[in-house]
Structure 1
């Protein structure tokens, strides 16, 4: 039996195909590029189910499809269906040893509210290239990806950076980190990451994860400096080119 969940965060939809679940929609709001994220373990995914996903995306007018960042275990299934590597990402982990159990007050940091989402997206658009920048649906997806989330802004005096941190089970996730280019290199990103790690320790997390593009040397250096270590292999974003009949 094929069922479809309610619309998820604006243009995303939850698609249920028997025991398989996927989140599908537009990649960063683009009209010709679709997005698919498997929500079920790889051993539950089937080629027939993925073919249904691709047909739905094709009917929506998408010419190609980008996946969520996939682990090595998840990649093989999509490779077998004709997906190819679009971009590789560094995956890093922090064991949270030595992180204070109380959040330190840092000048300029305070919670970012819902009415400030437009400002968050403006910062994001300046900090990332067009392919990776978030739209409103992506921002909401990042905020609601985990049961517990912290959205922190860096203000000077206007918003110049932000971090989204998630907590699920015993793991923490630095979902997004962005700082206006003209304010980078001044410690704002460092403060945001330290604030995120301290909050995760307060929540009881045993480890924290983050990923970043392979060519983002500044971000990689920041995370390594703050105690993250690289996990190999990293993550991969895959692409599928639609073939119209």
Structure 2
């Protein structure tokens, strides 16, 4: 396979749960964060401009808290702060590997991170910095999936890599059904008609309306992110084109 990347500018969506060791009481596993940072370094070594959107579900889930009686807006703001914690942890691991990082937050906290400014974020990418977007969109009622879709379209990314704990999209839950079938590729229309939960509806609509391809992959396989950037068949691709 060629070592020339297929994509020049990429948004990597990492869930907060991905930072936690399964079965552990610790919200963040330094070893897992270091592993993710190593995978990101491999992508950067290809010359790819990389932005990251990180979730906060390992620390706090606003929607779950609202279902238990907390005000939804307050719960969501707490979730945004959780993403800041995760973003700083990833920043530290990347800097330990010698990678230049800029963290931009949708909620201003000048002692911690830069405010999100589109032109500044784009310039950082052009200069070779990894940009980590935290605090979601800065608004309650929006997920970090929506943040990934929004930021990807704002910065002119060519693809969203959604790093998960499964190796793609299935016709039904592979944890419950051993005969579940994985898709190598699926269109937006097919995903909607089959009611497949690729992303939440707002995020998915943003991607579909702007023809932003999504690759859902297993981040626990160390070389998957790099292979996806190189154009290998990894996980499931969602796009507007039939294959």
TM-score of the pair, normalised by structure 2: 0.30
Higher relative contact order (CA 8 A, sep 6+): 1
TM-score of the pair, normalised by structure 1: 0.30
* Largest Rg, 1 or 2: 1
**Whose helix fraction is larger, Structure 1's or Structure 2's?**
2
